């Protein structure tokens, strides 16, 4: 940690005086503001050194939680000022590429909120830019990999003690979504998480995507036809079926049941204070991803900060993972209007990402 005597052997990419990683947060919306608070209050070894946000009001609001942080409207300016050691991108997906490319050009480590970019073509351009560097610099914010229960489930798969993994059966339920949420976002905003985390659990990749429609929920916004059942075949034969449901009214739930040759495992079940009242035994469940994955977000950022300070730069899903998810999302969007499975063809992995 920071001490007077450390200035000469400080990790590359940290403040010479404090030893803390100077992070630039790009985008000060809901997600960005949350990361500002996280880094300032809960993450060790990092400070928010800059907030890069064109909207002055948002920037000021976020800066209130980051004393001393500089304000920029463009990433290029923050880089030119030498103000940041690393970049955390929290803008909407369509604005990722214009930040990723200059940050890569400057050789900065990046934690990029999902998706890497909205489509596989632009993601591929990002991969090409990254491959100009000595090693991967981008980590993608699929925070479920940092959730303790997903980690336990993956460890169970790897241990082999439950036998070979055969199926994964998932649910992803939101109480409600805003009117701005579109049919396509069922895939690109929500199922996108399953496309990353479930193959990661299973040790494989997505081979095809299919969408089935049950009876529509009349409480959904008029323009949505959901819930949907998404059936995903993995390259290793594991079959996944995920219920994607964004109008379930009662709360927020992400759960998975894994079917092994000799055992069943289940994650994402309710826990915490139990109460008997009015004839029922009950437990409060989550109502938002904010509480459901609070610890995972903290862990994700802490581990990324640690990795950057140690010089490994990435500790989590990388840009190649982000690219594969972009491919799966494209198939998923096609599957919304196609009968039967839509194949996902993943090119050979560049050696750079080995």
**Interface residues for a copy of itself in 210-249 (CB under 8 A)?**
212-219, 227, 229, 231, 236-239, 241, 243, 245, 247-249
| 276 near a copy of itself (CB under 8 A) | yes
Candidates 73, 131, 183, 287: give the one binding a copy of itself (CB under 8 A). Answer: 287
Candidates 17, 64, 312, 343: give the one binding a copy of itself (CB under 8 A). Answer: 17
Candidates 94, 132, 184, 275: give the one binding a copy of itself (CB under 8 A). Answer: 275
Question: CB of 94: closest distance to a copy of itself in angstroms?
Answer: 31
Closest by CA position to 96, among listed 326, 288, 314, 315: 326
Beta-sheet pairing, 206-212 with 342-343? antiparallel
Residues 6+ apart with CB under 8 A from 351: none
Nearer to a copy of itself, 31 or 244 (CB): 244
CB of 253 closer than 8 Å to CB of 171: yes
Nearer to a copy of itself, 71 or 129 (CB): 71
**Cis (ω within 30 of 0) for the bond into 176?**
no
CB of 321 closer than 8 Å to CB of 138: no
Separation of alpha carbons 64 and 53, rounded Å = 14
Question: CB of 180: closest distance to a copy of itself in angstroms?
Answer: 22
Cα 17 to the center of its chain, rounded Å = 32
| Size of interface with a copy of itself, in residues (CB under 8 A) | 95
Candidates 41, 55, 128, 158: give the one binding a copy of itself (CB under 8 A). Answer: 41
Candidates 31, 59, 62, 69: give the one binding a copy of itself (CB under 8 A). Answer: 69
Stretch that binds a copy of itself, among 43-51, 97-105, 110-118, 123-131 (CB under 8 A): 43-51
| 183 near a copy of itself (CB under 8 A) | no
Separation of alpha carbons 234 and 284, rounded Å = 34
Candidates 54, 92, 160, 270: give the one binding a copy of itself (CB under 8 A). Answer: 270
Separation of alpha carbons 20 and 212, rounded Å = 49
| 107 near a copy of itself (CB under 8 A) | no
**To the nearest 10°, the Cα dihedral for 117, 201, 298, 30?**
40
């Amino acid at each position: 940690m920071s001490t007077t005597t450390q200035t000469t052997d400080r990790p590359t990419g940290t403040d010479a005086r404090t030893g803390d990683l100077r992070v630039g947060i790009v985008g000060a919306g809901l997600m960005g503001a949350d990361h500002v608070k996280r880094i300032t209050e809960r993450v060790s070894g990092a400070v928010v050194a800059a907030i890069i946000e064109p909207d002055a009001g948002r920037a000021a609001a976020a800066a209130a939680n980051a004393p001393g942080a500089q304000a920029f409207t463009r990433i290029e300016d923050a880089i030119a000022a030498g103000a940041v050691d690393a970049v955390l991108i929290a803008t909407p997906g369509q604005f990722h590429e214009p930040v990723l490319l200059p940050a890569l050009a400057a050789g900065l480590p990046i934690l990029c909120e999902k998706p890497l970019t909205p489509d596989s073509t632009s993601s591929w351009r990002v991969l090409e830019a990254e491959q100009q560097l000595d090693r991967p610099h981008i980590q993608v914010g699929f925070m479920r990999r940092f959730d303790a229960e997903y980690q336990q489930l993956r460890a169970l798969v790897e241990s082999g003690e439950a036998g070979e993994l055969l199926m994964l059966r998932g649910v992803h339920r939101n109480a409600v979504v805003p009117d701005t949420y579109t049919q396509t976002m069922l895939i690109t905003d929500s199922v996108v998480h399953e496309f990353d985390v479930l193959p990661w659990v299973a040790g494989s990749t997505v081979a095809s995507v299919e969408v089935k429609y049950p009876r529509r929920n009349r409480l959904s916004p008029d323009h949505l036809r959901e819930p949907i059942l998404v059936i995903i075949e993995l390259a290793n034969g594991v079959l996944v079926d995920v219920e994607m449901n964004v109008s379930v009214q009662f709360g927020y739930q992400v759960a998975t049941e894994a079917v092994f040759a000799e055992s069943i495992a289940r994650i994402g079940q309710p826990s915490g204070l139990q109460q008997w009242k009015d004839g029922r035994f009950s437990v409060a469940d989550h109502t938002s991803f904010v509480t459901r994955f609070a610890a995972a977000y903290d862990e994700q950022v802490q581990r990324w900060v640690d990795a950057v300070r140690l010089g490994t730069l990435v500790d989590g899903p990388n840009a190649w993972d982000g690219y594969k998810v972009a491919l799966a999302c494209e198939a998923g969007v096609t599957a919304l209007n196609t009968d039967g499975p839509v194949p996902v063809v993943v090119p050979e992995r560049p050696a750079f990402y080995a």
